Chain A
């Protein structure tokens, strides 16, 4: 009896119900409900050095194009940014194509991934070949300088008071500085490169351990590279750049801690990693604690787990929770005051946005500039492709983890505790943070939270999307057209991630931009900051704008007044139309000796939204300050004008209060 005949025997009511349910069933089939378990084709171990060598040749060529674009950007060539992105595409595509190929062995997958990682790190170095240029890098550079100069930890850092309390990255860097004589910049870049290679190596090997396929693991790593923080943010000289690799190493150590070696992994190796993580970055430490606690909960819930395995899972969770709590207590719980307001306002704004009452306009900078159309399309496409990967991979990954994702729901629920792979299940559940990060990214104050969730949510997104890709061709035997389409999709996710983090400002432009971080750091500001160190001496208190205070604290080794450290917004005094008594009081309260005024502030609104550090009124300027307002210190009696280069002027206000 054929299907049509079977259908004709159904009662009319059931027939209608069957027809109505057909799209629903099709949708369930599409997302993987009822899919057979994934059976991998056998994968080799070897490496074709010829292919890896050819990939390195392509990478070298792409880096030359990227360097040309970066230099051209400094001379004002209008297509520099597009060329730079093209170089990234030319770099990434061949590696992605090779990763999807059926004949790529495990060793070659790993070698190619490490080569790609090194080349992408070189992209960061091409952006900033002579010194740190991104905002957060200056914050930690200042801490590292303090350690090198004083030989002590926990010194003051007014730029980011919490930074000296989490000195993991700075310790590794200054160890290298002390031992080699290299500068903090050079030593920091070496540590960051090694940390990045460790991260991708650990991620690949963890994925491979968890899902048993080098191809899925390699695809997962390629998808992970689409996290908005991957290319730039997580290789900045900033604490999470070391902390995230430590989490990946912990995941790997946990994944391989089986049998007789388990006790040694858990009791010898992991405590050292957890301890270093706890003193490296607060948020990542707490994330690791949540992750390993979640794993312990899953192991406790899972049927058929031995009591011994449960105890080890519990011990691992305890080890993950204890160091960050102890360290946070030891350094005085600084994160509550530091992160609390950011999280609070981010959540408030996210809730308001969900009710359509407010939010950040996507692709529009704070100074009103709009991202080019192609960048908007790629970013939207990137989010869409990631969502598609999650849609197609989520149920399949759960199924791969051993959950019974088939049949009727009650039947499936009856076997809900029978999964076999808690680690894959956990990483799959971590992907639920991805939509949350998107919502936060659409808010003004929560943007940073969304950005910080990225590296963690993508730990799951990577493997789930890779499972989706693998399920359609478990043997990896994609034709060249399909491989190209998939590789272009991965490229779209990568470029979309970069754009959503850096956008059109990925390269240093020819012209100075107001409060645009890497686009505002230039030789003139550096020369001025170095001048203060040579001629005034280090350690004086300066009030200055966002960019000059970074330069003064690092190149100049000056103390700078910040609202984070002193609770006083000296920026109000600098931008006020006249020098009134409250402004003088602000400067006095902050202990300010010198005021640095950058006349270029009057040429535009701040690109990142603030002229200073986001103090009381710093987010509310709707037009640039007037030149007269900036130069009001000229008229103040008993104020010296110590330095003038035509753009940056520094006033000596040490006698300012004597006449008031």
Chain B
């Protein structure tokens, strides 16, 4: 019995080390997630229960409390990590795995009783392949329902629209403003753009075609003069020149020495 306990504790210790190593590895999130879950939601609490209640049967109650303890230890540990400025992955791994391993090391030998006694034991279970298959089908249907709901939510778009923006920040060399368009009309769409400086047409981009979801930006330069002026961009869709589909503008502040900066 004592060797079984020791073996069980060793297995938990190895699991903790494995979890710590995997979550710090560059593995993708879906591969790291199960081990991170064990480290955050199970191992520290499991270890503390063993340490605090060595005479307790490892029953359903102890398991439930172990999960709650793990969550609580994570919260309390997070406060401590914040104090030392290590609220990051290495900090979490060191602290949570450390708690789990220290707890296991300090556990008296009678603590581990996995699978022995306890009221949540194996009494009356009848595990049949057919039952497990039905259970698996039920769970798969539940998972399928979630995937289906996700697809429905992703496909849901109440509006067809075009985003237009004009910002007084030049991203291209030499430009002083940026004009942007994003087509969310769900189909390829054709646009015309006019740029007016102080009410006067200074530039045009006719027949810009964007695919659904495509974004295009254009550099714009503003001429600074003695007074505040408005640099305005107007958007027309599908050749409808009588209706301004979108309009955006920026306020161009005055400058002592006005210079024409348009390309």
Q: Interface on A for B, CB 8 Å cutoff? A: 44-50, 52-61, 63-64, 66-68, 70-71, 74, 105-107, 110, 118-119, 122, 125-126, 128-130, 147, 151-154, 167-168, 171-172, 174-176, 178-182, 186, 190-191, 194-195, 197-198, 201-202, 205, 209, 242, 245-246, 249, 252-253, 256, 260-261, 264-265, 268-269, 272-273, 275-277, 279-280, 508, 510-512, 522-524, 527-528, 531, 535-536, 637-647, 652, 655, 659
B68 near A60 (CB under 8 angstroms)?
A: no
**Closest 9 pairs (CB-CB, A-B):** A46-B124, A60-B141, A56-B138, A71-B152, A276-B72, A249-B68, A171-B78, A181-B29, A179-B36
Known: A178-B92, A252-B64. A644 touches B165 (CB 8 A): yes
| Interchain nearest-CB distance for B240 vs A (Å) | 14
| Beta-carbon contact of B92 and A175 below 8 Å | yes
Q: How far is the CA of A535 from the CA of B181 in the complex (A)?
A: 12
Q: How far is the CB of B210 from chain A (nearest CB, A)?
A: 14
B124 touches A168 (CB 8 A): no
Q: Which residues of the partner chain B approach A45 to less than 8 Å between Cβ atoms?
A: 119, 121, 123-124
Contact at B131–A53, with CB atoms within 8 Å? yes
B251 at the interface (CB under 8 A from A): yes
B140 lies within 8 A of chain A by Cβ: yes
Q: Are B152 and A194 in contact (CB under 8 A)?
A: no
Bound complex: CA of A531 vs CA of B53, how far in Å?
Answer: 54
Residues of A with C-beta under 8 A to B138: 53, 55-60
Q: How far is the CA of A604 from the CA of B54 in the complex (A)?
A: 63
**Identity of the chain A residue whose Cβ is nearest the Cβ of B89 in the assembled complex:** A178
CB-CB contacts below 8 Å: B149-166 with A: 149-159, 161-166
| Contact residues in B for A67 (Cβ distance below 8 Å) | 145-146, 148-149, 152
Which chain A positions have C-beta within 8 A of B121? 45
Closest residue of B by beta carbon distance from A636:
B251
Known: A264-B52, A279-B79. A126 touches B141 (CB 8 A): no
Shortest CB-to-CB span from B144 to chain A, Å, is 7
Is B167's CB within 8 Å of the partner chain A?
A: yes
Q: Which residues of A contact B139 (CB under 8 A)?
A: 56, 60
Q: Which residues of B sit under 8 angstroms from A644, Cβ to Cβ?
A: 163-165, 246-248
CB neighbours (8 Å) of A640 from chain B are 166, 168, 248-251
Closest to B83 in A: A153
Contact B148 A182 (CB under 8 A): no
A126 and B165 contacting across the interface, CB-CB below 8 Å: no
- Bound-state CA distance A399–B142 (Å) is 43
In the complex, what residues of A have CB within 8 A of residue B74's CB? Answer: 171-172, 175
A645 & B75 in contact (Cβ 8 Å cutoff): no
Does A205 contact B125, Cβ atoms closer than 8 Å? no
The residues of A that contact B152 with a CB separation of less than 8 Å are 67, 70-71, 74, 129
Within 8 A of A (CB), among B64-99: 64-65, 67-69, 71-76, 78-79, 82, 85, 87-89, 92-93, 96
- Complex formed: what's the CA distance from A122 to B35 in Å? 22
With A60-B142, A70-B149, A640-B251 in contact, do A179 and B32 touch (Cβ < 8 Å)? yes
**Are A107 and B89 in contact, with the CB atoms below 8 A?**
no
B180 adjacent to chain A (CB < 8 Å)? yes
- Give the complex CA separation of A512 and B156 in angstroms: 12
Measured CA separation A475–B71 after assembly (Å): 38
List chain A residues, Cβ under 8 A from B162.
645-646
- Contacting chain A: which of B1-9, B10-18, B37-45, B193-201? B37-45
Inter-subunit contact B248/A71 (CB<8 Å): no
Partner among B72, B96, B153, B168 whose Cβ is within 8 Å of the Cβ of A130 = B153
Let me know if B149 and A71 touch, CB within 8 A. Answer: yes
Determine if B68 and A44 form an interchain contact, defined as CB atoms under 8 angstroms apart. Answer: no
Determine the distance from Cα of A179 to Cα of B144 in the docked complex, in whole angstroms. Answer: 27
Q: B204 at interface (Cβ–Cβ under 8 A)?
A: no
B218 on the interface (CB 8 Å rule)?
Answer: no
- Does A60 contact B137, Cβ atoms closer than 8 Å? yes
CB-CB nearest in chain B for A178:
B89
Question: A129–B55 contact, CB under 8 A?
Answer: no
Q: Is the CB of A249 within 8 A of B250?
A: no
- Docked-complex contact A129 and B153, CB < 8 angstroms: yes
Q: Pick the residue among A54, A129, A168 that contacts B149 (CB under 8 A).
A: A129
Query: In the bound complex, do residue B161 and residue A645 qualify as a contact, i.e. CB atoms below 8 Å apart?
Result: yes
- Mostly, the B contact residues are helix
CB contact between A176 and one of B36, B245, B248 (< 8 Å): that residue: B36
The distance in angstroms between the C-alpha atoms of A436 and B64, with both chains bound, is 32
Contact A49 B180 (CB under 8 A): no
User: Which A residues are in CB contact (< 8 Å) with B36?
Assistant: 176, 179-180, 182
Tell me if B220 counts as interface (CB < 8 A to partner A). no
Known: A175-B96, A276-B71, A524-B158. A643 touches B248 (CB 8 A): yes
| Distance between Cα atoms of A528 and B251 in the complex (Å) | 21
Interface centre among B51, B68, B142, B150 (most CB of A within 10 A): B68
A153 near B161: Cβ-Cβ < 8 Å: no
How many residue-residue contacts, CB under 8 A, span A and B?
336
B132 contacts the other chain (CB 8 A): yes
* 26 A–B contacts from the bound complex (CB under 8 Å): A44-B124, A56-B138, A60-B137, A64-B145, A118-B142, A122-B145, A126-B149, A130-B150, A151-B85, A174-B87, A175-B74, A178-B92, A179-B23, A194-B41, A198-B67, A201-B63, A202-B65, A245-B71, A246-B72, A249-B65, A275-B76, A508-B156, A510-B156, A535-B165, A641-B249, A644-B164
**B56 lies within 8 A of chain A by Cβ:** yes
Scan residues 99-145 of chain B and give those whose CB is less than 8 A from a CB of chain A: 119-121, 123-128, 130-132, 134-135, 137-142, 144-145
Closest CB in chain B relative to A268 CB, distance in Å: 4
Q: Are B72 and A260 in contact (CB under 8 A)?
A: no
Q: Which residue of B lies closest to A202 (CB)?
A: B64
Query: Contacts A126-B146, A181-B32 given: A153-B78 contact, CB under 8 Å?
Result: yes
Contact, CB under 8 Å: B161 / A524: yes
In the complex with contacts A264-B53, A643-B163, A53-B124 CB distance below 8 A: no
> Is B226 at the interface (CB under 8 A from chain A)?
no
Q: How far is the CB of B127 from chain A (nearest CB, A)?
A: 6
Name the A residues within 8 Å of B79 (CB-CB): 153, 171, 279
Contacts of B89 in A (CB 8 A): 178-179
Q: Is A531's CB under 8 angstroms from B92's CB?
A: no
Q: Is B206 part of the binding interface, using a Cβ–Cβ cutoff of 8 Å?
A: no
List B contacts of A512 (CB < 8 A).
158-159
With A268-B48, A645-B246, A646-B246 already in contact, the answer to whether A180 and B33 are too (CB < 8 A) is yes
* A261: chain B residues within 8 A (beta carbon): 53, 55-56
Interface pair A64/B144, CB less than 8 Å apart: yes
The verdict on B188 contacting chain A, using a C-beta distance below 8 Å, is no
Nearest CB to that of A646 among chain B residues?
B161
Q: A272 near B142 (CB under 8 angstroms)?
A: no
A84 to B53, CA, bound (A): 45
Give the CA-CA distance A526 to B253 in the complex, in Å. Answer: 32
A205 to B68, CA, bound (A): 14
State the CA gap A110–B60 with chains docked (Å). Answer: 9
Q: Does B173 contact A (CB under 8 A)?
A: no
Asked if B145 and A66 sit within 8 Å, CB to CB, the answer is: yes
Which B residues touch A535, using CB under 8 A?
Answer: 165, 167, 178, 180
Instruction: Report B176-204 residues with CB < 8 Å from chain A CB.
Output: 178, 180, 182, 184
- Taking CB atoms, residues of chain A closer than 8 Å to B119 are 45, 106
**A53 to B134 Cα, complex, angstroms:** 6
B228 at the interface (CB under 8 A from A): yes
Q: Are A107 and B165 in contact (CB under 8 A)?
A: no
Task: Please tell me if B61 contacts chain A, counting CB pairs below 8 Å.
Answer: yes
Pick the contact of A273: B69, B125, B166, B228 (CB < 8 A). B69
Given A264-B52, A272-B76, A640-B251, also A202-B68 (CB < 8 A): yes
Which residue from B33, B52, B53, B123 sits with its C-beta under 8 Å from A46?
A: B123
A260 to B56, CA, bound (A): 10
Most B-side CB within 10 Å, residue of A110, A179, A191, A536: A179
CA–CA, A178 and B64, complex, Å? 25
Q: Which chain B residues lie closer than 8 Å to A280 at the CB level?
A: 75
Contact B124 A47 (CB under 8 A): yes
B87 contacts which of A151, A191, A197, A637 (Cβ < 8 Å)? A151
